[in-house]
Structure formats: C-alpha cells, structure tokens
C-alpha cells in the first residue's frame, strides 16, 4: 500500500470523525431515531416518585429474600418475584449495597399476622435486588377514616379501597436522600382518582408495574421489574 493510498484512507477517517461525509436519507433517519432515543432517555430520567409511609411501617425489619412465606405455600398461584436496580440520578450508575425495606399486605389484605410480610434486602455490587413474595391483597379503609381524610382535604369521599401495593423504603448511605415509595400494579381498578388515599401517588406511571405471568406444572409465578432512582442530598424523600 503506497503513501498516497494511506493518505486517502486517513482523509476518509478524518471526514468520518468530523461528521463531514454526506449521509443518505436512510442514514439521516436512523441517526435521528438514535438521537431521539437518547434525548428521550435523558428527559425521562428522574428520581422515583415518593409516596407516603402509610400506617403499617415498623422500624425493625428482618433480612428476608422471601416475604409472606406461609402465604406463598397457601397461594402458590399468586407467587410474585420482584426485581430491579437502584440507580444514581443519571439512571445509569448502579448503587451497590443499598438497603430496601419492604412491607405489604398478605393475600387477604391484612398487614398484621403470621405471614411475615415485611423484611429487607440489599442490592449487590451491581445495584441489583430481588425477592419473592405473593401478590398483595387489597383492603378497604373504614368509613370513618375515609370521611376524615376527605374532610381534611376538602374533597368528596369516593371509594374506600386502596389498590394492591408494596411499600419500599430505600437507603444508600452513599450521599443520597432516603426514599419512601410504593409500587402498584397496572390494571387495578382503584389506581389514581379511585384510590381512597387522596395523598398517595398511585397515578404516577413510574410506580406502576406490569406483571409477566409464567405457569408450569407446579404453579404460576408473576415477575415484575421495578427500578428505583435516588437523588443526591440529605434527608428523606417522602410523599
């Protein structure tokens, strides 16, 4: 290969690096789609929406990777695997060793009892977490409580049902705000305006997951992915 040919190749590489070679129409469309996807990811990247504690939070949690264990055998077709990543504010950098406290109702919609539907897990070195539970049951608040909340916020009293949900409290101990939030399920008739909890955020799409169901001979399992994004700072991010 002679010097002139090498110089020409170098010139082509330089044009490519400087983005000076004219693109075909299909190449321009493809580049535009890639740019739009990058912009969309940047636009959609935001801290996970906070939500309220609710009345059933307790500060002491056992380390469990399987919640509601008696329920899991009794309601084997309602098994639920929840997994995801805990990320930095850029939605790309994983946060290792974050602690996720989790509490939920059992299949009957009860928080208290022998089902042990509360525990904590930690993310691994890649920011990943996973636990097994059952699909939480829904519950109805008392008439007096629904009336009290409606009067407090000067709103008409509607449904008294809460949608099925799982509570999370996430701490990183790496300079992030702690987060309290809730995870909801798509298709629930009591999301958003139909949620008796006026101050809850069940209408926010980043808190709503779509389970994927898989059935085998010994039972069915649903899988959901719930990624969590923390923001830098001190204190508690609470709905």
Inform me whether the pLDDT recorded for 15 exceeds 50. Answer: no
Whole-angstrom distance, CA of residue 78 vs CA of residue 141:
23
Q: Say yes or no: 124 and 233 in one domain.
A: yes
Q: Say yes or no: 126 and 196 in one domain.
A: yes
Residue 83 lies in a domain: yes
Selected residue with higher pLDDT from 156 and 122? 122
Q: Say yes or no: 31 and 107 in one domain.
A: no
Q: What is the model's pTM?
A: 0.79
Residue 50 lies in a domain: no
Q: Say yes or no: 107 and 219 in one domain.
A: yes
Residue 188 lies in a domain: yes
Share of the chain above pLDDT 90, in %: 56
Inform me whether the pLDDT recorded for 142 exceeds 90. Answer: no
Q: Say yes or no: 74 and 30 in one domain.
A: no
Inform me whether the pLDDT recorded for 224 exceeds 70. Answer: yes
pLDDT of res. 31: 60
The pLDDT-based confidence of 20 (bands split at 50, 70, 90) is very low
pLDDT of res. 211: 97
pLDDT of res. 32: 56
Residue 170 lies in a domain: yes
Q: Say yes or no: 38 and 127 in one domain.
A: no
pLDDT of res. 179: 98
Residue 56 lies in a domain: no
- Alpha-carbon Rg for the chain in angstroms: 24
- Residue range 90-122, pLDDT digits in tens: 999 999 999 999 999 999 999 977 668 999 999
Q: Say yes or no: 35 and 92 in one domain.
A: no
CA proximity to 190, closest of 140, 132, 116: 140
Inform me whether the pLDDT recorded for 82 exceeds 80. Answer: yes
Domain count, the chain: 2
Q: Say yes or no: 113 and 202 in one domain.
A: yes
Contact 102, 136 (CB under 8 A): no
Q: Say yes or no: 101 and 174 in one domain.
A: yes
pLDDT of res. 91: 96
pLDDT of res. 113: 72
Selected residue with higher pLDDT from 101 and 158? 101
Average pLDDT over residues 191-203: 92
Inform me whether the pLDDT recorded for 183 exceeds 50. Answer: yes
What is the span of the domain harbouring residue 12?
3-44
Q: Say yes or no: 97 and 173 in one domain.
A: yes
Whole-angstrom distance, CA of residue 160 vs CA of residue 53:
18
Q: Say yes or no: 31 and 75 in one domain.
A: no
CA proximity to 117, closest of 159, 145, 75: 75
pLDDT of res. 77: 66
Q: What is the CATH number of the domain that holds 119?
A: 2.60.130.10
- Residue range 22-75, pLDDT digits in tens: 556 666 566 655 544 554 454 478 999 999 999 899 988 999 989 988 665 566
Average pLDDT over residues 209-238: 92
Q: Say yes or no: 139 and 34 in one domain.
A: no
The pLDDT-based confidence of 155 (bands split at 50, 70, 90) is confident
Q: Is 18 exposed, middle or buried (0-12, 13-18, 19+ CB in 10 A)?
A: exposed
């Amino acid at each position: 290969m002679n010097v002139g040919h090498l110089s020409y190749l170098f010139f082509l590489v330089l044009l490519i690096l400087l983005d000076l070679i004219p693109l075909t129409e299909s190449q321009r469309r493809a580049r535009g789609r890639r740019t739009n996807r990058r912009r969309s990811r940047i636009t959609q990247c935001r801290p996970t929406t906070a939500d309220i504690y609710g009345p059933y939070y307790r500060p002491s949690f056992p380390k469990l990777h399987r919640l509601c264990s008696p329920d899991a055998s009794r309601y084997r077709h309602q098994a639920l695997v929840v997994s995801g990543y805990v990320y930095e504010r850029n939605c790309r950098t994983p946060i290792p060793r974050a602690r996720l406290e989790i509490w939920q109702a059992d299949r009957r919609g009860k928080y208290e009892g022998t089902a042990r539907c509360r525990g904590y897990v930690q993310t691994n070195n890649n920011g990943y977490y996973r636990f097994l539970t059952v699909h939480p049951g829904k519950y109805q608040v008392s008439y007096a409580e629904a009336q009290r909340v409606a009067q407090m916020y000067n709103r008409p009293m509607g449904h008294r049902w809460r949608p099925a949900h799982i509570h999370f409290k996430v701490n990183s101990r790496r300079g992030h705000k702690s987060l309290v939030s809730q995870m909801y399920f798509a298709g629930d008739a009591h999301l958003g305006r139909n949620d008796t909890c006026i101050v809850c955020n069940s209408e926010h799409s980043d808190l709503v997951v779509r389970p994927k169901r898989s059935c085998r001979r010994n039972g069915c399992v649903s899988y959901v992915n719930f990624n969590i994004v923390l923001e830098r700072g001190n204190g508690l991010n609470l709905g």
